[in-house]
Structure formats: structure tokens, C-alpha cells
Amino acid sequence: MIKISPSVLSGDFANLERDIQTIAQSGADYVHVDVMDGVFVPNITIGIPVVGALSRVSPLPLDVHLMIQAPLRYVEAFCQAGANVLTVHVEADTAENTRKALMRIRQLGAIPGLSLKPATPVRDILPFLDLCGLVLVMAVEPGFGGQKFLGEVMPKLAEIAAILRRHNPQCLLEVDGGVNLDTFQTCLDNGATVLVAGSAFFQSADRGAFVRTLRGGAATGLPRRT
């Protein structure tokens, strides 16, 4: 069942509560929250207090994507702030610390996610797939919204999908970056089960129709937050 995770990075930061309600009303499944530190990526967005505030007003689970250096330092704080899915980057720390981060996220009750940049080979994430509840494939260079979709990552997506079907079939496979009405189908065709959309969602005249199109009309069984 395809799940949709609109990103508030493309929303109005002066009206995030309003935008989160818009995401919920559209029929989406998650609220995607991009956290950037200005070190791992050349941009700074939001941090732990804002995630906590979003958690208090969101009727949907928070899908928090940490684009930060050495994320092990902060996974506990983000889980306590209300992240339901917490994704770290394989490039952001040592293998030992990446494993520790994923294990700690699961211990804290959130879904542990692992992301890789467009140029990162699939082999770099293989040692960690047993710990993952989600794998996030970037279809743009992380750091800024509104970028052009990189179709050349689709073979990588398909390869990961095949590996997960064999070894971790319950793991979600997410695509983030440039997902819109022109690109979503190739993501689904190559095995994606979660689609992140930012600019395309917020620029849509009918956001509910946009979500239904990306999902293909299927109903979601994801429970709402309580």
C-alpha cells in the first residue's frame, strides 16, 4: 500500500500548524520533516523544539529526516520530541555509530530509517538493513527543496527493493526529491512504497487529488496519531 509523506520544508514556516492540518486533510499518511544542520548539507532548517511543537499539533505521524552530521548525538532527543519515523544518513557517521543510532531509535519506539545520497552505492547500506524499518533513497542532492528529479537513481531504487523483498520485506522504501505528477510512477515502478513530495504538494490546486493520484486511489490503513 503506497503511503504519501508531504514535506513541510516547502510549506509556510509562519503557518506550519495550518500546513500540517492541510496535509492531514489531504488524506496523506505522514508529515515529512527535513532537519538540516548546515554541516552535513549546506542549509539549516529546523531542530528539536520545532519537531516537538509539530508533534503536539499533528494528527499524522512525523516522518523526520535527519540530514545532520553524527546523528547518534541527537536521535534520543528527536524521538522524545515526537518523531514516529526517524531517518539518519549512512554517510553521516561511522558504521559503528550508524548501527548504534538505528538500534537506539528502535529501542525508543520509533521506526528506524536509513538514507543514502544519489551517489552512494547500495553496498554501503547493506550491513544495516536488518535494523531498518525504512530505507530512504534520495532522488536529489540533499539540502534544498524544489530540485529536479534525478532519474538515474531509479536502478539503485530497484536494486534496494529487490534486496528488501528477500531479506526485510516489512521495510518501507521511500523516495525523496523531485517527486511530482511526472515522476511518481517511475518511483512506484521501481519499488517505492512511500513518496515524499514537497513543492509539488503545496503548489497543487487540489492537494487531496494530488495525494490520491500518487497513491493510485488505494486507501491507507496507517493509524492516525492519538
Q: Which residues are annotated as catalytic?
A: 34, 176
Residue 180, helix vs strand vs coil: coil
Using DSSP bridges, classify how beta strands 85-89 and 3-6 pair: parallel, antiparallel or unpaired: unpaired
Using DSSP bridges, classify how beta strands 194-197 and 172-176 pair: parallel, antiparallel or unpaired: parallel
Burial 68-86 (b: 16+ CB within 10 A, else e): beebbebbeebbebbbbbb
Q: How many CA atoms lie within 13 A of 128 on its CB side?
A: 31
Task: State the residue for C-alpha cell 535494523.
Answer: 131
* Nearest CA-CA partner of 149 in 178, 181, 175, 176: 178
Residues 6+ apart with CB under 8 A from 202: 6, 10, 11, 19
Using DSSP bridges, classify how beta strands 194-197 and 111-116 pair: parallel, antiparallel or unpaired: unpaired
The whole-angstrom separation of Cα 72 and Cα 76 is: 8
